[in-house]
Amino acid sequence: MASAVEIDAMRRALQLARRGPRGLNPQVGAVILSPTGETLAEGYHRGAGTAHAEVDALSQLAPGAARGATAVVTLEPCNHTGRTGPCALALIDAGVDRVVFALDDPTDTAAGGAARLRAAGVEVESGVEADAAEALIHDWTAVKRTGRPHVTVKWAQSLDGRAAADDGTSQWITGPDARRDVHARRAAADAIVAGTGTVRADDPALTARAADGSLLEAQPVPVVIGTRETPPDAAVHRHPRSPLFYATHDLPAVLDDLAGRGVQRVFVEGGPTLASAFLRAGLADEVLVYVAPVLLGGSRLAVGDIGVPTIADARRLVVTSLQTLGDDLLIVARPEPSDPATGGHAVTAPTAEPGRPAPALTNRGDA
C-alpha cells in the first residue's frame, strides 16, 4: 500500500504532468523519492520525441543517485522503444527499488512495464490516485480506445428550434453570458470545426475570445471541412493557429487525420449542415444546445436531416446537465449508452456507404 509520502508525491506528479502539452502522447509526471522519502528529482513529458517523465527526472540526478529510490509516476512506465527507450528499463538500470504509478498504460505497444519491473525484482504499486490521473488524460485514453477524438457538436437555437431568421440573420440569438461560455469551451478544445458554407456565409474567426474581444491564451486549431473554396481573405486565415482545410465530406477520415496530429477534443460549431452531418454519421459524443427564449418560426432549423425517417429511429440522448446563462438555457447531452467498447458514446459510422469508395481526403493546411 502506498504511504502518505508517496500519495503526496503522486499529487505533485499530477501537477507536473499538467505542464506538458496535450497531443499524441499523454501528459505524464514523475517524482523520484529517496529511501527516506525526500524528493530527489521531478520530471514531466514535454511532448513527442522528448524524454518521458521518468527519464526526465532521472536525468537530473548523478549516476547512482537513484539507487534504492522510489519512482512515483502518473502512468505505468512504458515497455517499448519508440523515439525514446523503454522507461521501465531506465528505472531498472538506475537501481530504483520501488515504482508507484496511477494508471495502467492502455496501449498494446507500451504496456507491460509493470511486469518487466517486477521480473527485475522491483517492487510495484499501482492504482494510486487513479481517478485523478484518469481525469487528467481522459481525452488521450479515449482517443486510444475509440481511434478518434472526442467530438462535441454545438449549436444555438430559438425556443422553436431555429438557428436563424428566415432572412438568414442569426446574430445574436443568445446573450452575452452564453457567448462567454461558448468561447471558454472553444479554448478548452484542441480543434474547432466549421463547414465551408458557414465560412463563406458568416466569415467566422473561429477564435476563442474574452468578453472584450481579446484573444484568450489557449486557441483551438481552426478546421474547415467541405469541397468549396475558402476565400483567400476569409477571417480564418488570420487565426493565430494555422488552419487545416479538408476538401471532403468524409468526416471519419477527417477525424482520423486529426487524431494523427494529436487532436483529442473537437468542437464542431459550423452551422446546421455540418452539425447534422456529424449527428447523422453517429460521430457526436456530446451535444451542447444553447436555447434562447425567442421565437423565430420559418425554415431555418438548427438541425436538418440526421437519418431519422420515423420515431422508432430517434437518436435518444441522456441529459447530463442543465444550466441557465443569463436569459438562455444550456443543455448538455450525450447519446444513450449503446456499446461498452465506446464508453457509452456514439459509435463511429463507416467511412463510406457499402459499395462506394470513401471520398478522397485532401488536407491543404499545415498544423
Q: Which amino acid is at 345?
A: H
CA distances from 363 to 57, 117, 254, 367 (A): 38, 43, 9, 10
* Those residues with Cβ within 8 angstroms of residue 249's Cβ, 6 or more apart along the chain or in another chain: 225, 226, 227, 277, 359
Catalytic residue among 6, 38, 42, 54: 54
Based on DSSP, count helices (H) and strands (E) in the chain, helices before strands. Answer: 10, 13
Nearest-angstrom CA–CA distance, 271 and 303: 9
- Residue 76: active-site member: no
139 within 8 A of 291, measured Cβ to Cβ: no
Hey, what's the cell of 81? Answer: 522503444
Burial (CB count <10 Å: 0-12, 13-18, 19+), residue 161: middle
Catalytic residue numbers, as ranges: 54
